[in-house]
Amino acid sequence: MSRETTDAGNCQGSGNELLASGLGVGAVGALGALVTGAVCPLCIVATPALLAVGLVQKWRARRTASEVSPPAAPSA
């Protein structure tokens, strides 16, 4: 396996982790808002930041993987 392919897999994996973290922080913030009526300022900032960074990493990993491996030839 080439280094580019390994790096792309690692980026996508960490992108998934960041997306899950962002969803978790958002869920905790929403639950806290429902229960206490107050919203954590950190949750307001962290949720979109984690989601955005996770999406960018997944996009970069997908783009890198498509550049490394040529597209499959169409079958006749």
pLDDT in tens, 20-62: 999 999 999 999 999 999 988 989 999 999 999 999 999 998 8
67 pLDDT higher than 70: yes
| DSSP structure class, residue 70 | P
Q: Tokens 């950190």 correspond to what residue? A: 42
65 pLDDT higher than 90: no
Model-level pTM? 0.69
